[in-house]
């Protein structure tokens, strides 16, 4: 069996609504990794992520995240302010992650840090952060490894991903590579639709990919949290 997680980052309003609509059409749950303070008027996002800038857009708020969660989608933390943690001192990076988790705990219904997956902004982690994070979250997503993961065990805490600015070309190539293997779990980092975010994909492309994949019997399209949940039903191989 093959697994695919499309990991939608940053929390763009229009993109999230459209992605949820498309996934629901197929009976699927989408995974949104959102910035805790992006929706606030005094947010501290990088200049190129501000509304009206090349990688920016309008961001959703916790009203939307609670609505989408109630509809079955998965909402995960993507940082307090989209800081590159690999460029910060450990204590500063740790503090930002804890502030992010606190906001989620206070504003996202049913949120439990111990069950969540922290998605590193820029997919940039450090060995020190990777060693500490499993003490507060279920797992984390980073770019320091292959995009095609082995099927996890109950002890898996590190999930690795990739994403391209030419996101459609990149996903096509990774899917080809995935099906060249007897099994595997592809975690692919997407951002937005309708022109929002870094390397957005087109809505019609997403529909075409889902149509094609769902015609196969050897792949499941799931949020990362749901793939990890499958480990309770699988033998532990690590």
Residue 82: burial class (beta carbons within 10 Å; 0-12, 13-18, 19+): buried
Mean pLDDT within 146-158: 95
Would you place residue 238 in the very low, low, confident or very high pLDDT band (cuts 50, 70, 90)?
Answer: very low
Q: How much is the pLDDT for 232?
A: 66
Q: How much is the pLDDT for 178?
A: 98
Mean pLDDT within 32-45: 94
Angle ∠(229,15,62) on CA atoms, nearest 5: 65
Burial profile 94-117: b = 16 or more Cβ within 10 angstroms, e = fewer: bebbeebbebbeeebeebebeebb
Q: What is the DSSP letter of 58?
A: P
CATH H-level, domain 2-233: superfamily: Glycoside hydrolase/deacetylase (3.20.20.370)
Cβ atoms 129, 93 nearer than 8 A: yes
pLDDT at 123 over 90: yes
What's the CA gap between 16 and 97, in Å, rounded? 23
Q: How much is the pLDDT for 162?
A: 92
Cβ atoms 221, 28 nearer than 8 A: yes
Cβ atoms 137, 101 nearer than 8 A: yes
Instruction: Tell me the pairing of strands 31-34 and 74-77.
Output: parallel
- Report how far Cα 103 is from the mean position of its chain's Cα atoms: 18
Q: Which parts of 71-202 fold into alpha helices (H)?
A: 90-107, 127-132, 167-180
Q: How much is the pLDDT for 5?
A: 98
Q: What is the DSSP letter of 152?
A: P
Mean pLDDT within 84-90: 97
> Residue 149: what are its φ and ψ, rounded to 5°?
-95, 155
Mean pLDDT within 161-186: 94
What's the CA gap between 44 and 18, in Å, rounded? 26
Mean pLDDT within 190-195: 86
Q: In sequence order, what are the beta bridge partners of 139?
A: 117
Mean pLDDT within 86-108: 98
- Report how far Cα 107 is from the mean position of its chain's Cα atoms: 19
Would you place residue 56 in the very low, low, confident or very high pLDDT band (cuts 50, 70, 90)?
Answer: confident
Prediction pTM value: 0.93
Q: How much is the pLDDT for 236?
A: 41
């Amino acid at each position: 069996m093959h697994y695919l997680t499309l990991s939608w980052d940053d929390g763009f309003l229009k993109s999230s609504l459209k992605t949820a609509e498309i996934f629901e059409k197929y009976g699927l749950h989408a995974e949104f990794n959102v910035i805790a303070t992006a929706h606030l008027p005094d947010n501290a996002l990088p200049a190129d992520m501000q509304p009206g800038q090349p990688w920016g857009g309008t961001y959703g708020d916790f009203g939307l995240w609670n609505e989408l969660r109630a509809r079955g989608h998965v909402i995960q933390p993507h940082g307090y302010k989209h800081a590159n943690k690999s460029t910060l001192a450990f204590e500063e990076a740790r503090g930002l992650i804890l502030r992010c988790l606190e906001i989620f705990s206070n504003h996202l219904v049913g949120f439990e840090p111990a069950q969540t997956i922290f998605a590193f902004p820029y997919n940039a982690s450090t060995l020190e952060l990777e060693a500490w994070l499993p003490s507060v979250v279920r797992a984390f997503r980073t770019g320091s490894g292959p995009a095609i993961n082995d099927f996890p065990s109950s002890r898996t805490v590190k999930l690795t991903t990739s994403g391209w600015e030419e996101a459609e070309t990149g996903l096509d190539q990774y899917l080809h590579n995935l099906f060249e293997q007897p099994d595997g779990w592809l975690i692919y980092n997407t951002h937005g639709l309708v022109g929002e975010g870094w390397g957005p994909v087109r809505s019609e492309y997403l529909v075409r990919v889902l149509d094609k994949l769902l015609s196969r019997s050897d792949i499941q399209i799931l949020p990362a949290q749901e793939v990890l949940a499958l480990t309770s039903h699988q033998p532990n191989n690590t």
